[in-house]
Structures are given as C-alpha cells and as structure tokens.
C-alpha cells in the first residue's frame, strides 16, 4: 500500500511541478536587439503588459501586444521582465475550466459550453449564461444519478481566479433524500498552465452524514495538441480513514473543438468489516469493527470532451 501511495504522490507532484509556466530574465540596461519571437510580461507600477518587444534601448522599450497594439514604456518604469510563452505558438486552449472531473476557478464566457463523457458513461455538461455564471448537469445514460450545479467565478488578481458553487441531485430512482455538494476554489496561472485548490463539503439532506473534501488539480499545455492534467482527491470520511484518489493524464486535442483525456489513476480506501459475536447472555449481536486499507493501481481513465 505504501508503495502505491508513494508512486501516486510522486507522479502527481511531477505534474504540479510542470505547472510553472514562466522564468525570470534580468533586465538589460544597455541597448540590445529585441527577439520578436519571445513574449514578455512587463511589470510596471500601473500593472502588467504582455507582448513582443520590438525595440529596446536605455531610455525605453516598445511592446507589441497580442492584438497588435504598440505600447512604449520608459525604462525607469520597468520593474520586472518575465519571459512567457508565445500565446499564438500553442494554438487554441481547449477546456481550461475543468480538469478530469474537478473544476478550475476560471469561468466560462457567456455562450461557451462543453460536454464531457467520462468512460463514455458519466456525462457532464456546462454552459456559461454570463461571463461569470455557469449552470450544468451531471448524469448517466439511465439518468441516475443526476445532479444539477451552479458555478460563479471571476478573476480576482494577476493570474488568480476564484469561484464557488454547488450541486444537488439524487443517486437512485425513488431515493427519498438528496445528495448535495458545496465547493469553493482558487486557481493560480493562466489557461495554458495553472494549479487549483478545491475545497468541498458533501452532505445528505435527511441525515447527519458529512463529507469534507480537499482536492488539488494542475494543467500544463506542453504542445499545440497535448496538455498534462492531474488531479488528487482526499475524501475525509467521518468514521474511517480518508479515501485517496488521483493521478495524471494527457489531454489530446485529437478532434476539432474537442479532446480526449487518457490517464492512469490510483485509489486507496478503507473497508469496514464486522467481526463481532452473538452475546448469549444479552441475546444480541455485539459488533466489533475492523478497518482494512486497500489500494488499486493502475486504474485506466478515458474521457471524451466536446466544446462549443
């Protein structure tokens, strides 16, 4: 079991380590010929500007933004130059608002949406009704379980997003109680490379059973057609040890306006066994529970996503 956990943790940490998209380059004070194929993020007192440096000398530099706008910045106003990747070199970003299952805090724009089919059985659909609010549903071909959800997200800082929301639904037909989940998350990064911390609170409407959740996800677009995606879940059960689920995957932009996720997951959880006995004096069963940890690896993961 320990080997499974260590292997899964190391794989996931490698994925997270890949989520740092930038490196710093010292600012040159002298005159230099600008490399127009390199994109920079220029930090000034009034904010950040991104683009290609077309000209730079001791007095000022000229930046061409992605929309073609030219910006001249005095050299004394430049606090930091950070090399970033050319946003046009990688092509369109596919599906930055969700990882394998967990959401990022990056919101859908109004009119954007996606359909995600995990194992071609569990279907997720989400649609942006405004630039900050989206609604969705998760279901199966037999329409059970079925959940509806609401997500509200916005950008709160430089490369920092926040969102919150919830979902509610039923697991089976005729089930008298509903299962709910409230969540809040933070995403650091951009659509090409980011990491997200999700926190959740699961509950049943007709019982006191509760399920706190902590989840970490990461995404890094390594080429125009391939991104590395990872998730790691910790389910904090009330009366037993936590369930651990997660692993890495590749997101392949194999079809127009769509993608395929292919990965390997692992799962570690506890099983409960009643090794009790019948008390003849009390004429009742006396329960004595034992908990065993079980691990499964590898677990193949595949899903198909369509965006619109």
Find out whether 151 and 103 touch, Cβ atoms under 8 Å: yes
| Mean per-residue pLDDT pooled into runs of 10, the chain (308 residues) | 40 42 37 59 87 88 83 91 69 79 95 94 96 97 95 94 97 90 96 94 90 96 88 92 96 87 96 86 87 92 93
My answer on whether 80 and 97 are in the same domain is: no
My answer on whether 183 and 46 are in the same domain is: no
Task: Give how many domains the chain has, as a whole number.
Answer: 2
Nearest to 196 by CA among 87, 102, 307: 102
My answer on whether 130 and 41 are in the same domain is: no
Whether cis (ω within 30° of 0) applies to the bond prior to 145 is: yes
The phi and psi torsions of 9 (rounded to 5 degrees) equal -65, -45
My answer on whether 156 and 287 are in the same domain is: yes
My answer on whether 115 and 6 are in the same domain is: yes
Please report the pLDDT score of residue 41 as a whole number.
Answer: 86
CA–CA separation, 148 vs 134, rounded Å?
Answer: 11
CATH number, residue 280: 2.40.160.40
Handedness of CA 121, 212, 15, 269 (dihedral sign): negative
My answer on whether 122 and 146 are in the same domain is: yes
My answer on whether 247 and 156 are in the same domain is: yes
Of the three residues 65, 84, 103, the one that is the final residue of a domain is 84
My answer on whether 160 and 299 are in the same domain is: yes
My answer on whether 289 and 154 are in the same domain is: yes
- Reduced to 3 states (helix: H, G, I; strand: E, B; else coil), residue 65 is coil
Please report the pLDDT score of residue 107 as a whole number.
Answer: 95
DSSP single-letter state for residue 259: E
My answer on whether 78 and 96 are in the same domain is: no
Please report the pLDDT score of residue 27 as a whole number.
Answer: 38
My answer on whether 229 and 261 are in the same domain is: yes
The phi and psi torsions of 75 (rounded to 5 degrees) equal -60, -35
Please report the pLDDT score of residue 183 as a whole number.
Answer: 98
What are the C-alpha distances in Å from 139 to residues 46, 105, 151, 171? 47, 22, 17, 10
DSSP single-letter state for residue 108: P
Find out whether 96 and 177 touch, Cβ atoms under 8 Å: no
- Reduced to 3 states (helix: H, G, I; strand: E, B; else coil), residue 15 is helix
CA 281 to chain centre: 56
Catalogue the E-assigned strands of the chain: 23-24, 39-44, 47-56, 60-64, 70-74, 80-84, 113-118, 122-128, 133-139, 146-157, 160-170, 179-189, 193-204, 210-221, 226-235, 243-255, 258-274, 277-279, 284-286, 289-307
Give CA angle at 156 (151, 162), nearest 5°.
Answer: 30
**Cross-strand partners of 55:** 62
Q: Which residues contact 282 (CB under 8 A, 6 or more apart)?
A: none
CA–CA separation, 231 vs 127, rounded Å?
Answer: 23
- Domain span at residue 251 reads 2-17+91-307
My answer on whether 153 and 272 are in the same domain is: yes
Please report the pLDDT score of residue 283 as a whole number.
Answer: 87
CA–CA separation, 78 vs 203, rounded Å?
Answer: 51
CATH number, residue 47: 2.30.30.100
Of the three residues 58, 84, 110, the one that is the final residue of a domain is 84
Find out whether 185 and 70 touch, Cβ atoms under 8 Å: no
CA–CA separation, 293 vs 1, rounded Å?
Answer: 8
Whether cis (ω within 30° of 0) applies to the bond prior to 28 is: no
């Amino acid at each position: 079991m320990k080997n499974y956990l260590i292997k899964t943790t190391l794989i996931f940490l490698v994925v997270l380590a890949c989520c740092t998209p930038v490196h710093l380059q010292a600012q040159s004070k002298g005159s230099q010929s600008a490399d127009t194929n390199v994109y920079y993020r220029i930090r000034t007192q009034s904010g950040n500007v991104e683009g290609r440096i077309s000209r730079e000398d001791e007095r000022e530099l000229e930046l061409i933004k992605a929309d073609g706008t030219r910006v001249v910045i005095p050299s004394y106003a430049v606090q930091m130059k950070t090399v970033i990747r050319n946003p046009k070199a990688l092509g369109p970003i596919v599906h930055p608002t969700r990882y394998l299952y967990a959401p990022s805090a990056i919101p859908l724009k109004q009119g954007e949406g996606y359909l995600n089919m995990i194992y071609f059985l569990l279907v997720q659909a989400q649609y942006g009704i405004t630039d900050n609010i989206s609604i969705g549903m998760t279901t199966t071909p037999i329409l059970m379980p079925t959940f509806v959800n609401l997500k509200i997200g916005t950008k709160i800082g430089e490369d920092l997003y926040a969102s919150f929301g919830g979902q509610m639904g039923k697991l089976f037909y005729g089930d008298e109680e509903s299962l709910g989940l409230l969540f809040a998350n933070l995403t650091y990064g951009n659509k090409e490379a980011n990491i997200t911390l999700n926190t959740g609170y699961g509950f049943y409407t007709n019982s006191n059973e509760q399920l706190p959740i902590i989840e970490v996800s990461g995404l890094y677009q390594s080429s125009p057609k391939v991104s590395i995606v990872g998730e790691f879940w910790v389910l904090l059960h009330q009366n037993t040890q936590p369930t651990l689920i997660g692993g890495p995957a590749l997101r392949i932009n194999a079809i127009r306006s769509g993608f395929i996720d292919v990965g390997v997951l692992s799962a570690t959880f506890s099983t409960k066994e009643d090794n009790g006995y019948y008390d003849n004096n009390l004429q009742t069963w006396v329960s004595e529970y034992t908990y065993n940890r079980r691990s499964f690896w590898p677990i193949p993961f595949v899903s198909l996503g369509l965006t619109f």
